[in-house]
A and B are shown apart, each in its own frame.
Chain A
């Protein structure tokens, strides 16, 4: 807490200095901008204790160790039970009274080539070395039958099971083990390091900045809020997205809401989604992400309340985005190196946009952009929609999620429904024959706060000040972060985007094939109480309207296929 205070004082000092700088500059400019972002000017976020860790970079000693282990697996023998073991050795525990000549005799009795090796350090057992071509299991069996042997066994290969040391991973992130991610990390420790994932969303907290803006009076919920005038606002990169060493993982950021190259997130959604895809992992801090070494491309297409206020609007109800910005964002991402696009956004519309794309509420412009991006080799993940229980006139209850429906018609684009931590259909997750995959989106029903999907994003008590009574309304600050629980298909989609990034890193570069793989390796789920299709519709088996092909399985997808199995 003391650290927090100290940082608050420092932040205040920087803000005052920056404010002074701005004031001094004001006199020199005739037209004061509504909002000014001074990039890289500001303190790091209030989230102390970031430990530098590069154990999952391709060149790190840890990665080389894993590669060596993988190479060693090639030379393993496979025992009768199917387990791997190191050839050429048997681990033996002789009874203490057995002298060395007797031990040597026992080793030779078990194998013509058997001999006792020098005892290794920290061992109370012996190693009997035998010809690697010999059957070590048989030698161990012979030794076990001797009265002077307590136990004898082959040297089973211990398989690295990477479990990140981020403290909240074990206690809060039920969602990542649910997609079988730990064994996928064993297969690919570099976790997507050469792949760029575009997060087409509300932006991202990816760099430090100082924002100066004139905040107008506005009306919200029938209540008038006062103008705050010229304010200076601290902004920090989420420390669990961008390490303190710099922002090299951030690629070609762009803001289509404000038409800038600075897509700062003023809402928190895009930062949270980015965390699920690529939160820094195994650094002993906070939470983990799926493909924790990917490069991230923030593409801002959704406006938040602060975007509107910073732009001088006096009505903040018009948050969100529009098809044109989304379509431009998709094309931008495809043209600037992104290989995976995550779209945790959507809208409701009629169920027959496929046959009548020009009717109201269909989005042919986004469909065209998606097809363009897939044609350039991008794989796209689209949230399935959160309106299962909602009634949206004129489409009724559980309306079609337009972008998800488009996704289902384009090979290389998938729509993702949400499940809760019991692998049940999340109560809000839109259902329909267009649902293709499922992933954890969380639910508070039956689970309370333990059912959330938690990633690092803004502490909303410092950002959503427009929700406070007018008397308490104050300028926001975007430099205080916490591990916040969200639920929604917005949270489900980035799980799939992360797995897709790892799959692409593993060598599958065709988006159409990536979709096939994710669907074929998904774990089929059976909806409790029957499938929840909209009236008059059904999903073609093995799909269901609730889950599509099922729950994405990262390990199965990454491991690929052998010849016979």
Chain B
């Protein structure tokens, strides 16, 4: 349902259908699914027993002369696991529920390349910064023991967009993010010596607009 609404909004905001060729300015909404491998792999594996996690989000791209673009995106991650200890090369889960929520808001700027042989494929690279909300709640917490904080970081990404239709494209890219300041000062991340909430993500986008 949400996807349908976003598609309709995207179609409404997209450049006029009558336009031939690329417009000088295009506003393109997108929805996005991300599979993230966190840099703090040991910490996440101890609490959640896995290393790849999905984010869901969306945003909007502003495309100038079909080459330069700025992208504003927001996504959300929520995962239930357990409080734990690490030691002796293994994790010991304690059966105490823990929920982690990450809400990145990212702004990037980049450049789209043209491939003469493959006009429907547009490789791109981008860089930018983000603000990362991190929330951690767990059972049996005393006041002040849960975490609710936001820190900034930076991102780099590169990938390609494939035009399925004049108004619809799909994009896949790889994004690296670095988010210091949240991990490493306590908990499993400190025990593992992991200080980065960022990581490497494979992102898949459905873009609406020319």
Which A residues are within 8 Å of any B CB, using their own CB? 70, 73-74, 76, 78, 81-84, 159, 183, 186-187, 506-510, 512-513, 516-517, 558-565
By a CB distance below 8 angstroms, the chain B residues around A507 are 92-95
A513 touches B145 (CB 8 A): no
By a CB distance below 8 angstroms, the chain B residues around A563 are 40, 43-44, 47, 98, 100, 136, 183, 187-189
B88 touches A74 (CB 8 A): no
B136 touches A561 (CB 8 A): no
Residue of B nearest to A81 (CB): B143
Residue of A nearest to B47 (CB): A563
A sample of 29 inter-chain contacts (CB < 8 A) reads A70-B139, A74-B99, A82-B141, A82-B143, A82-B145, A84-B141, A159-B140, A187-B96, A506-B95, A507-B95, A508-B87, A509-B92, A510-B90, A512-B87, A512-B88, A513-B85, A513-B88, A516-B87, A517-B85, A558-B94, A560-B83, A560-B94, A561-B83, A562-B138, A562-B188, A563-B136, A563-B187, A564-B147, A565-B187
**Docked CA distance A27–B94 (Å):** 61
B42 to chain A, nearest CB (A): 10
B84 within 8 A of A: yes
B133 to chain A, nearest CB (A): 12
**Docked CA distance A560–B96 (Å):** 8
A564 touches B83 (CB 8 A): no
By a CB distance below 8 angstroms, the chain A residues around B23 are none
Within 8 A of A (CB), among B75-115: 80, 83-85, 87-88, 90, 92-100
**Docked CA distance A106–B142 (Å):** 33
Residue of A nearest to B80 (CB): A74
By a CB distance below 8 angstroms, the chain A residues around B183 are 563-564
By a CB distance below 8 angstroms, the chain A residues around B126 are none
B134 within 8 A of A: yes
Given contacts A187-B140, A563-B43, A563-B44, contact A513 B92 (CB under 8 A): yes
**Docked CA distance A382–B90 (Å):** 26
By a CB distance below 8 angstroms, the chain B residues around A78 are 135, 137, 146, 148
By a CB distance below 8 angstroms, the chain A residues around B140 are 73, 159, 183, 186-187, 559
Counting chain B residues whose Cβ lies within 8 A of the other chain, the interface size class is 35 or more
**Docked CA distance A509–B141 (Å):** 24
Given contacts A70-B97, A70-B139, A81-B143, contact A561 B92 (CB under 8 A): no
By a CB distance below 8 angstroms, the chain A residues around B99 are 74
Set B92, B97, B143, B189: member contacting A564, Cβ < 8 A: B189
By a CB distance below 8 angstroms, the chain A residues around B182 are 564
B186 within 8 A of A: yes
B92 touches A82 (CB 8 A): no
Set A83, A510, A560: member contacting B84, Cβ < 8 A: A560
A73 touches B97 (CB 8 A): yes
**Docked CA distance A183–B93 (Å):** 19
B47 touches A562 (CB 8 A): yes
**Docked CA distance A208–B135 (Å):** 56
B21 within 8 A of A: no
**Docked CA distance A564–B135 (Å):** 9
Residue of B nearest to A78 (CB): B137
B119 within 8 A of A: no
**Docked CA distance A506–B139 (Å):** 14
B111 to chain A, nearest CB (A): 35
**Docked CA distance A372–B83 (Å):** 31
By a CB distance below 8 angstroms, the chain B residues around A562 are 47, 83, 98, 100, 136, 138, 147, 186-188
B143 touches A83 (CB 8 A): yes
Residue of B nearest to A558 (CB): B94
B49 within 8 A of A: no
